[in-house]
């Protein structure tokens, strides 16, 4: 299964490497893993989405890397300021409309190395304007409450949640993991964490299997009620990642085997809800 695309660009000179690393750092990219070996050194910059396109015809610019942004004018200000301060030989084109309903400019931080930045003119494609959360976790703090019972499942859910947070820009020190004995104990821990005021959202992870307990419905009802009540009374978003399955095989499927990873989905929901709360608060 394809996981991602990495574009590797050789700079050819140490000075060009340093300038490109500086340029992309100020634009707000998440920094990936650097390396410094005897034969080469590198610096990685990460984006939430990536794709590979082939063109049959005239290319829209001399760049072979196109970076979609949500505020082109703000990126343009940063790029202009960086070039003025760091690269007298750098070039930047005017921002112009394209024939594919977008705005774009191209910048060469060092001669011969070009990048095009663009945004849609109508990103909503004519749809009504709605307030929605973004999947950008930078600057957010999260707690993950995960049950130890059925660890073969909950550990998979935990890894899915961490993957979603780190992919979306959260720092490791901003994600705290709290382990509880089982699903029954999740609401109590989640409530305590929410009341602490230290976290923007709580992710709850556990699993209940009908075949393992005769009072399956009673436990599930109380766990879901407790998590929902904690969210409503504290105002802190709680993402629900407690699986309720008939069998172990069903739980494994929902923990990344066949039906996606519900831990990843819960963390993504938590990020989006924090973003949404902030946007609503900003408009109030």
CATH superfamily of 14-120: 2,3-Dihydroxybiphenyl 1,2-Dioxygenase, domain 1 (3.10.180.10)
Active site residues per annotation: 215
pLDDT of residue 3: 62
pTM of the predicted model, to two decimals? 0.57
123 versus 262: the higher-pLDDT residue is 262
Most confident of 39-48, 66-75, 139-148, 256-265: 139-148
List phi, psi (to 5°) of 170.
-70, 145
pLDDT of residue 131: 79
Is 256 in a helix, a strand, or coil?
A: coil
Q: Who's near 144: CB < 8 A, 6+ residues apart? A: 158, 161, 162, 175, 176, 177, 178, 202, 203, 205, 267
Pick from 49-63, 172-186, 231-245: least confident: 49-63
Domain 142-283: assigned CATH number: 3.40.50.960
Contact indicator for 144, 194 with CB cutoff of 8 Å: no
User: Any idea where the domains of the chain sit in the sequence?
Assistant: 14-120, 142-283
pLDDT of residue 191: 97
pLDDT, tens only, 179-208: 999 999 999 999 999 999 999 999 999 998
Average pLDDT, the chain: 86
Q: How far apart (Å, rounded) are the C-alpha atoms in residues 115 and 90?
A: 12
Contact indicator for 274, 237 with CB cutoff of 8 Å: yes
pLDDT, tens only, 245-275: 878 888 888 787 666 788 998 999 999 999 9
């Amino acid at each position: 299964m394809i996981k991602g695309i990495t574009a590797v660009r050789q700079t050819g000179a140490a000075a060009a490497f340093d300038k490109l690393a500086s340029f992309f750092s100020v634009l707000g990219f998440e920094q990936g893993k650097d390396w410094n070996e005897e034969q080469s050194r590198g610096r990685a910059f990460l984006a939430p989405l990536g794709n590979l396109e082939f063109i049959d015809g005239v290319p829209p610019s001399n760049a072979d890397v196109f970076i979609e942004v949500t505020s082109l004018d703000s990126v343009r200000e940063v790029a202009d300021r960086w070039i003025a301060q760091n690269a007298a030989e750098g070039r930047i084109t005017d921002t112009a409309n394209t024939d594919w309903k977008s705005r774009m400019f191209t910048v060469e931080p060092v001669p011969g190395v070009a990048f095009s930045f663009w945004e849609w003119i109508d990103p909503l494609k004519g749809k009504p304007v709605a307030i929605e959360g973004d999947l950008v976790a930078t600057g957010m703090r999260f707690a993950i409450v995960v049950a130890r019972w059925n660890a073969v499942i909950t550990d998979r859910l935990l890894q899915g949640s961490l993957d979603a947070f780190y992919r979306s820009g959260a720092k490791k020190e901003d994600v705290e993991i709290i382990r509880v004995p089982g699903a029954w104990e999740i609401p109590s821990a989640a409530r305590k964490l929410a009341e602490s005021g230290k976290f923007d959202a709580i992710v709850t992870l556990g699993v209940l299997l009908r075949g393992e307990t005769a009072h399956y419905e009673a436990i599930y009802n109380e766990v879901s009620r407790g998590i929902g009540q904690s969210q409503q009374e504290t105002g802190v978003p709680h993402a629900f990642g407690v699986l309720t399955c008939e069998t172990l095989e069903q739980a494994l499927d929902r923990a990344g085997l066949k039906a996606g990873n519900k831990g990843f989905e819960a963390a993504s929901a938590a990020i989006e809800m924090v973003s949404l709360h902030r946007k609503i608060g900003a408009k109030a």
